[in-house]
A and B are shown apart, each in its own frame.
Chain A
Amino acid sequence: MSDAAEGGGVGEPDDAEGVFGSGVERREDIPLLTGEGDYTADVSRPGMAHLAIRRSDHAHARIVDIDTSEAEAMEGVAAVYTGEDVVDSGVPNSIPTAWMLPGLVTPQYRILATDKVRHEGSGVAAVVAESPQRARDALDRIDVEYEELDQVTEPVEAVEKDVPPVHEEAEDNVAFDFELGDEEAVEEAFADADHVASVDLRQPRIVPNAMEPRAAVAEWEDRTEKLRVWMTSQNPHLHRMLLSAGTLGVPENRIEVIAPEVGGGFGSKIYHYPDEAVTAWCSMQLGRPVKWRASRQEGYVTDCHGRDHDTTAEIALDDDGTVRGVRAETHAGLGAQLSQFGTATPSYLYATVLSGQYTVPAIHCRVVGAFTNTTPVDAYRGAGRAEGIYVIERLMDVGARAVGMDPAEFRRKNLVQPEEFPYESAAALVYDSGEYERAMDKALEHVGYEDLRERQERLREEGRYLGIGVANFVESAGLSPSGLAGDLGSQAGGWESSIVRFDSTGTLTVMAGTADQGQGHRTTYAQIAAEELGVDLEDIEVIEGDTDRIPQGMGTYGSRSASVGGGAIARAAREVRSKAREIAEHQLEASSEDVVFDDGTFHIEGAPDRSLHIQEIAHEAYLGHDLPEGMDPGLEETNFYDPENFTYPFGTHVAVVEVDPETGETSIEEYVAVDDCGEVINPMIVEGQVHGGIAQGIGAALYEGAAYGDDGTLETRRMDEYAVPHATQLPDFETDNTVTPSPHNPLGVKGVGESATIAAAPAVVSAVVDALEPFDIEHLDMPITPETVWRALGGAE
C-alpha cells in the first residue's frame, strides 16, 4: 500500500478507467486544510442566542433545589430552564436505546436531569443568553442544592457491592445479563483439554477526543413549524428520527438535520445526546435560533466513552497446541444511561468475534452490563470487536506459553484455512472470505520474524529487552444485514440508501445517507460512480449530510460506508446504466447484444462511430422526445442496499518494542500492518485509515485510559491529563495489504475504518509482555505506562 500512489497515479486521471483502485487525491482536502471548511460552529443565524449547560459536578446526588433567579436577572440572559421545565412542556423527553437485549432494564433517559444526577457532567439546567460568554457566566449564578449519594464507577463493584443503585429500576445495577455460545460444549472441551490457560484483564475507558467538539445550532421556524438542526453528526437521519420519536415529538417530516463538515467522530457523534435536544428545545421555546458548543472539557465528561471491560478469559488447549475452547466472563460498564448502542457494543459486537481468526470449536461468553455513575459508554472505533479481539489475542499469547510454542507458530497452527470459507464460527458468525495465513506471512516477512527472535535472545544477554507482538484480527464490519441485526435486537435497519442522478446537462450527482467525518467520501464515492458510469471525476458531485436533500440513510459507523454506502451507490449506478443502455439501444436502433458499454460510451460492436456517451443520453432522458415506448423520462435511481452478511476485514499487525526495565519506558522500534479490506477503492485513503487506527490503538495500549477518582469524578479531564498520542510519540508505520474480495458485496470491498485500532492495541500489549517474558510477566493491563511496568517488575518494593 505504501507504494500505491505510483500504481494508480495521484491526481485525477483523465480517463475514468482505472479510477477505482487508484490513489486519487482527496477532493475535500484543500478547503479542510486551509480552514475554509464550514463546521457546525461556523453556522450563524439571524437573531441567534447561545446556550450553555450547567452540569453536575457530582457523580451521584439527589437534586434538592435549583434556584435560577439570580441567573435569570442577569443582563443579556434570555432564559434559564431546568429539567422540570422540559417535563412541563410535554415533549416525549426520552432518549431511547437502539438495541434491545433479553431482560434489558431501560430507565427513562431525560434531556435534563430532574430527580437526581447520575454522573458527573449530566445536565441540570440550561441558560440561553445573548453571547456564549454571558451564558457561561450565568451558569455560575445558578444555585443547585444537592444531597450527595454514594457512587460507583467500576462495573464489577457496581453489581457486587452494596451500593445505592444508579436507577431504582435496577436495584443491583445490572442492566442486562447476556450469554452467547454453547456452555455445555465449552465445559466438555475444558474438561478434556490437556491445558487451560487464563488471563484477567481490564480494558480501560477511552475518551474519544474527536478534534472538533460537539456542537449544534437549532432553528425553530414558527411560520412553518419546522425545526432545522445543524449538528456534529455521523448519522443525520438517525438524529432526525430520534429527535422526532424520542425527545421532541416534532413530526419527522418537519425536521431537517444537517451535518456540515464534521471533524472526526470515532463513534462519539453517532449518538443522540441530551445537549443537542436541549438546544432544539430551547429554540422551540424561544422561537429564535440557538447555538451550543461543547468545550473540550465538556467533551471529556459528556461524549460517550469507549470500552470499560473487566474480563476473566480462559483457553483450553491440547499438548500439540490445538485450541479446544474459549470462555470469557465480562463485566461491562455502561455508564449512567443507556446510549443507543451501549447495549449492542459489549454484547453482540463483542462476543461474536471471540473466535478471532482461529478454529475454536467451543465458545461461551457471558457479559453483565452494569450501570455505573459515569459518562455513558458506547461504541468507540473498533466497538466491541476491538474488545473481543483483544481478549482472544491475549489468550493466544498465554495459550502459546502454556504449551511452550512460539506465539506466531501457535497462531498459525489454529488459523481458519482459505478453503473453509464461508466459515461458521462457534460464536454465531459466518465469515465471508479470508486468507489469513497469507497476510500473516507477509507481516512476519516484513519484520524478519526469525531474525528478530535471534536478536531478542542476544539482546537479553546484554540486559536489553526487545519484544515482538503479533496480533491477528478479523472483524464483523459493514453494519449490518437488517434481518440478522433485527433478530439480535437491533431497533434500526442496517441498509444504506443512495440516489445516483444524472442532471440534464450531463453532470452526475451522487447522494448517500452516510455522513463523512473526514474519511474522504467525496473522493471514494466519486471513484465508485466514475467506475460504474465512465464519467470524469470533475463531473461528479457527492452530497451527504442533509436529510432534506438525501431522503433516507443510516449513517457512517461500524466500517460501513464503503461497503454498504458504496454498495448502494454501485447498485444505483448500475440501474442508471441499464436505463441509459435501453435509451442507447433505442436511439442507435440496435439490439442489446450489439451494444457495448465502454468507458462511458455505448457503441455498436464493430462500429465505434455509431455511439452515444452516457452524458448525452442523460440529456435525452430529460428531453423525453425520443425514449423507448413506455419509458418514463429522467435518469436517476434510488437504491436501498441491505447487505446479506457482514463483511470481514482481517489482517496481521506486528509491533516490535524495547522496554527499559529501570524506567519502565516502552519504545516502539518497528510497526508493520498488513490489512486485507477486500477490494481497495483508494489505497491512499485506506493507508490513512490504517495510520489513524494504529495511532488510536497505540494510544489505548500505552497512553490513554480514563480514570475516575474516589469521589466518582473524572481524574483525566483535560488533554494534559489524558494522553492522546502526539505524532512524535508514534513510530513510522510500514503498511502493506492483501486483497481477498468480499464475495457478497457489490464492490467486493470489506471496509477498513476500524481495522487498525482493533489490531494495534493487542499487538503492542503482546510486544511489551513478550519483552518482559524473562521477568515472568504474563499480562499487563492497558495503558501500559512506564509506572505500570515499573510496578510489575517490583520497582515499588
Chain B
Amino acid sequence: MHADGFEYHRAGTVEEAVDLLGSIPDAEPLAGAHGLLPRMKTDEESPPALVDISRIERLSGIERDGGSLTVGALATHADIAESTAVREHAPALAEAAGAVGDLQVRAGGTIGGNLAHGDPRVDPAAAVLALKAKTTLRGPDGERTLAASELFEGEFETAVGADEIVTALEVPTDGAGTSAYHKRRNPLSGYAAVGVAGYLRCDEGAIEEARVGVTAVGPHPIRLRGVEAELEGASAEAATAAAAADRVGESLPASGVRSDPYASAEFRSHLLSVDTEDLLGGLLGDA
C-alpha cells in the first residue's frame, strides 16, 4: 500500500513509548529513520503507525562504568565511532560504526535501530557478537536483557518484541582483549559484502578467549564457532590465523550463505576466509 499517510506519534519517555506500542496495533518505533524509511518507500514495510522515540533524552549518551560500556540506543553511528571510550575499550564497535554508510547515514542512524531492525548486512552487529555485548530492552513487563547471540533470529527478524524497545547496549570491557572490524564494501549498496569482527584475549603467548562475529554472510549476523574453537588455546602467532580461517567453511550458516548480484554464495565464502585470516592476522600481530 502507498498509504496517503500513516499515523505518527512522538513519545517523550520510554514508558510512553512502550504504552503507545502496546495500544496501537502494528505500531513500530522510529529512531534515526535510516533503516525503516527506505524500506517504506519501496513498500517492503508499511507500518500503519510510527512511534517516534528519537527525542527520548534518556536513550542517548555513552558511558563507561567499571567493567562495561553503556551505549544508549539512540547513540548514532557517528557518536560511537568518535567516542574515545568506545575506541579505547571496544575498538571493533567503533570501527564498525565508523564503517556504516556515509557521513549522513552515520549522523542519523542509531545503534538501537541498527540492531533491532534485523537487517542481515549491518556492520555493528558483527562487533556486538564478537564483543559479547548485551542489549537491554524495555517492555510492558519491565526490563530484560538479551545476549548478543540471542538477538538476531532471521532476515529482518530479531528477538525484540513488538511492544518492546531497545534502551541500551552493554559492552563488557573488563578483559584485556583486543578487537577489530574489517568491512569489505559491496560497491552496489555500500553495505558490507562481508564484514568480520574479531575479539582475542591472549595470555603468555596463547589465545585464551576468541570470538569472531560476521555480518552479511547469512540470513542474520552469526559467530564463526569453528574458527573460534581453532583459535582458543592455540599459540598467539600469525600462523594461527590461516589455520583458523581454514575452518570458516564449517562455521557457515546451515541455511546457506547469502548470494546477491555482487557475490555468489561460493565467492562470498571465499572472501570471508580471506578477510577472516587478514583480520585475525592483524589482531595476532598486535597481541
Contacts and interface: CB of A to CB of B under 8 A. Distances in A.
Interface of A: 131, 133-134, 136-137, 140, 297, 662-664, 703, 707, 715-716, 718-723, 725-726, 729, 785-787, 790-791, 795-796
Contact of B261 (A131, A136, A662, A722): A722
A131 B5 CA distance: 12
B187 A137 contact: no
B261 A721 contact: yes
A722 B267 contact: no
A729 B2 contact: no
Nearest to B270: A795
B261 A707 contact: yes
Interface string B185-209: 0011111000000000000000000
A347 B191 CA distance: 40
Nearest to B188: A723
B260 interface: yes
B146 interface: no
B1 to A, nearest CB: 6
Given A663-B271, A721-B189, 9 more contacts: A140-B1, A719-B188, A720-B188, A722-B261, A723-B188, A726-B187, A786-B263, A787-B263, A791-B267
Given A662-B274, A787-B267, A133 B187 contact: no
B263 A720 contact: no
Nearest to A665: B184
A99 B261 CA distance: 35
A133 B267 contact: no
A786 B191 CA distance: 16
Nearest to A788: B267
A71 B188 CA distance: 37
A703 B187 CA distance: 8
Contacts of B42: 297, 718
Nearest to A140: B1
A795 B267 contact: yes
A722 B187 contact: no
Nearest to A136: B2
A27 B129 CA distance: 54
A707 B1 CA distance: 28
Contact of A133 (B2, B261, B274): B2
Of A136, A703, A720, A795, most B-chain CB atoms within 10 Å: A720
B260 A721 contact: yes
B262 interface: yes
A725 B187 contact: yes
B4 interface: yes
Contacts of A137: 1-4
Interface in B243-267: 260-264, 266-267
B266 A785 contact: no
Contacts of B261: 707, 715-716, 721-722
A719 B188 CA distance: 7
A707 B264 CA distance: 14
A239 B43 CA distance: 33
Secondary structure class of chain B's binding surface, majority of residues: loop
B4 A133 contact: yes
Contacts of A719: 188
Contacts of B188: 703, 719-723
A796 B191 CA distance: 24
Contacts of B266: 796
A140 B3 CA distance: 12
A721 B259 CA distance: 12
Contacts of B4: 131, 133-134, 137
A795 B187 CA distance: 21
Give the 6 A-B CB pairs with smallest separation, nearest first: A720-B189, A723-B188, A787-B267, A136-B2, A133-B2, A133-B4
A706 to B, nearest CB: 9
Interface residues of B, number: 21
A133 B4 CA distance: 6
Given A718-B42, A722-B188, A790 B270 contact: yes
A790 B267 contact: yes
A91 B260 CA distance: 44
A429 to B, nearest CB: 37
Contacts of A786: 263, 267, 271
A718 B260 CA distance: 12
B264 A787 contact: yes
6 contacts: A297-B42, A663-B274, A726-B187, A726-B190, A787-B267, A796-B266
Nearest to B184: A663
Contact of A729 (B187, B189, B263, B264): B187
B217 to A, nearest CB: 15
B42 to A, nearest CB: 7
Nearest to A721: B261
Contacts of A791: 267
Contacts of A707: 261
Nearest to B275: A663
Of B261, B262, B263, most A-chain CB atoms within 10 Å: B261
Contacts of A785: 262
Contacts of B189: 720-721
Contacts of B274: 662-663
Interface in B42-65: 42
Contacts of A718: 42
A716 B186 CA distance: 14
A136 B260 CA distance: 29
A228 to B, nearest CB: 28
Nearest to A718: B42
Contacts of A787: 262-264, 267
Nearest to B193: A786
A663 B263 CA distance: 11
Contacts of B267: 664, 786-787, 790-791, 795-796
A193 B18 CA distance: 82
Nearest to A662: B274
Of A134, A707, A790, most B-chain CB atoms within 10 Å: A790
A713 to B, nearest CB: 13
Nearest to A134: B4
A521 B17 CA distance: 55
A785 B187 CA distance: 10
Contacts of B191: 720
A483 to B, nearest CB: 46
A715 B264 CA distance: 13
A797 to B, nearest CB: 11
A715 B262 CA distance: 11
Nearest to A715: B261
B109 to A, nearest CB: 16
A136 B3 CA distance: 9
Contacts of B262: 723, 785, 787
B123 to A, nearest CB: 15
A789 to B, nearest CB: 10
A136 B261 CA distance: 28
Nearest to A702: B187
